[in-house]
Amino acid sequence: MPKPFYITTPIYYVNDKPHIGHAYTTISADMISRFHKLAGRDTFFLTGTDEHGNKVAEAAAKANLSEIEFCDKTVATFQNAWNNLTIENDYFIRTTSDRHKKAVWKILDAMREAKTDDGEDVVYSDYYEGLYCTGCEKFITEKELVDGLCPDHKVKPELLKEKNYFFRLTSFLPKIKELIESDELEILPEERKREVLGLIGQDLNDFSLSRERVKWGVPLSFDKSQVAYVWVDALSNYISAIGYGDDDESFKKWWTNGEVVHLMAKDILKFHCLFWPAMLLAAGEKLPKTLFLHGFFTVDGEKMSKSLGNMIDPNEVVENFGADGTRYLLLTQFPFGVDGDVQAKRFITQYNSDLANDLGNLVSRVVKMVLSNFDGKLPQPKKEIDGLEELLKATEEMPNAAYTHVKHFQLSKAIEEAMGLVKTTNKFFNDKAPWKLGKEGKFDEMGGILYACCEVIRIVSIVLSPIMPTKMREIRAIFNLDDSSLNLDQANTFFVLEPGITLNFNDSIFPRLSEKDLAKKEDTKSTEDDNLIDFDQFGKVELKVAEVLEAEKVEGADRLLKLQIAIGDDKRQIIAGVAEFYPPEKIKGMKIAVVANLKPAKIRGVESHGMLLAAKKGKKLTLMTVDGDIPSGAKIS
């Protein structure tokens, strides 16, 4: 019985919305998780968001929101993107949750109580002076600078001096080196392992465990004047999500007794391959089995950046190619793990070639021939067909070969196994030409060929389900199969489909796409986008509670009321078109919702400084009012 399998993505920082890089890692982890579940392995898949640190606090202030309001809104964009991509995570961790905070306190306390082999405290207090890059959320050295600037964020770091608590990383490096060299702590691909071992030989220093000047974070359990360093906070998510600190049984199952795999991009190598193992050793916890650090990718040959305008929103790719098409295209651009180039301009060509022509066309041709020649009933199998034995052999080998590739993180090779069988089956179908056999009245042989092709399609739909879950469900529905048939054992067995079942087929699984099709979608989207505002724009709108002090009709305007309102201590006048629904005596004394930061304007020659909120349907209008216990001036969020 294999160990429980626990796979994680990094948690994504909420100072910006999700992009295709986040999607690539998450889809990859989702595919791996689904494959293990397909094989019947007990599996847990974690993703989530990193919500503390100065960058978040600054972004929230810029949006005129509190930190948690900003986090809530940005987290929703990640959750929405993962829903659009049919990501099937078992838990979504947020570092602002109480559960996570308790786990951070627990590991900090465990590290503080720990001693090195020399009897020194693992955690100690000292002053630190150095260059700090807010964009990186870390101290950096002079030699890391390029022309005096942070190489990643192109800004000059600030010189900071503050009292911190430090973690004695240097005491754990010899042990970590030993574990990496022996592959007890497996770091993949091999070049990443060499890179980590190279880092260990570069005179690394102890790292700061806390920050005195940062306020948005988890306060230390033993010193509330400091908050946990954002990386100490973030790395702890891998254990907080599975019960460290609140569910010992779950934690032992997934962490202590499980096979733990951390999946991420290579830019966060040092923190995951050195800081995290050292923290776990100090806390007396088992290390993960594998850390897989995939490469970076460019977009059409250029590095992704906001300034170049090539930051691809995964939601937009989904709009064009569907969730399953997007997942397939991203996972097949280049071998998993290496640096590569996402050629968005080739998406249509690849989609049409692989999905519409190869897979979609195979399904359509085979099923339509059953519908037209066998009254929609699956014909009887026939084993004595030239070339069938070779097709059966290829089919029997494919599922386990694909799963083996997944277990070795060769994701594109796993997909190639299934798509290679699709090509083989298309060749078998064309070589056997069942349409000619039908004309010759050889329906037994024709039916045997179609049955064999249907079986291959069924098996392919199982193996490709971790990559394209929705479309493969549609394919299985043709054969009246639901998710109960979705397991690798069913893929390793031929002649499962029952002859005589009625096939159900209405439309192409993967209709061909053209540039014109995408242009139409873009035109529609542009029209819709005219009515949308950006998150930053919405964040500038200031909604507050106001109390109506006085109300009177505007002379010569039957529908307008002139209201004197109080927004806390701020008294002002607004003009509102609600007179036919709210006479002055009715609205006076009400607490209403208003937009408080509009520039003053004149309506019918009368100054108005603000706008009230109301809901209208047909001839009915209702003001947005606020409960009497909420004071005027209170912020609405």
CA distances from 277 to 176, 187, 238, 266, 404 (A): 7, 12, 12, 16, 27
Write down the catalytic residue from 17, 22, 55, 100.
Answer: 22
b/e 431-462 (16+ beta carbons within 10 angstroms → b): ebebeebbeeeebebbbbbbbbbbbbbbbbbb
CA distances from 362 to 393, 429, 493 (A): 19, 9, 20
Q: Residue 2 corresponds to which tokens in the numbers above? A: 């294999």
Q: DSSP letter string over 177-239? A: HHHHHTTSSEEESHHHHHHHHHHHTS-PPPEE-EESS--SS-B-SS-TTSEE-HHHHHHTHHH
Distance CA 124, CA 98 (A): 26
Write down the catalytic residue from 303, 427, 436, 540.
Answer: 303
The C-alpha angle 57, 63, 69, rounded to 5 degrees, equals: 65
Distance CA 610, CA 601 (A): 9
Write down the catalytic residue from 102, 136, 413, 423.
Answer: 136
Answer for the pair 167, 134: CB distance below 8 angstroms, yes or no: no
Answer yes or no: 19 catalytic. Answer: yes
Answer yes or no: 454 catalytic. Answer: no
Distance CA 175, CA 184 (A): 11
Q: Is 522 helix (H, G, I), strand (E, B) or coil?
A: helix
Give the residue carrying structure tokens 């709108």.
Answer: 541
Strand ranges for 24-181 from DSSP E: 43-50, 91-94, 123-133, 138-140, 158-167
Answer for the pair 87, 324: CB distance below 8 angstroms, yes or no: no
For the chain, what is the total number of helices (H) and then of strands (E)? 23, 26
Answer yes or no: 405 catalytic. Answer: no
Strand 290-294 relative to strand 186-188: parallel, antiparallel, unpaired?
Answer: parallel
Distance CA 8, CA 240 (A): 12
Answer yes or no: 303 catalytic. Answer: yes
Write down the catalytic residue from 133, 273, 453, 454.
Answer: 133
Name every residue whose Cβ is closer than 8 Å to that of residue 500 and which is 6 or more positions away in sequence. Answer: 377, 378
Write down the catalytic residue from 143, 224, 306, 516.
Answer: 306
Q: Residue 553 corresponds to which tokens in the numbers above? A: 């009709």
Write down the catalytic residue from 150, 273, 453, 454.
Answer: 150
Q: What is the DSSP letter of 502?
A: B
b/e 74-88 (16+ beta carbons within 10 angstroms → b): bbebbbebbebbbbe
Distance CA 509, CA 359 (A): 9
Which residue from 256, 235, 217, 267 is spatially nearest to 57, judged by alpha carbons?
A: 217
Write down the catalytic residue from 17, 19, 262, 471.
Answer: 19
Answer yes or no: 453 catalytic. Answer: no
Active site residues: 19, 22, 133, 136, 150, 153, 303, 306
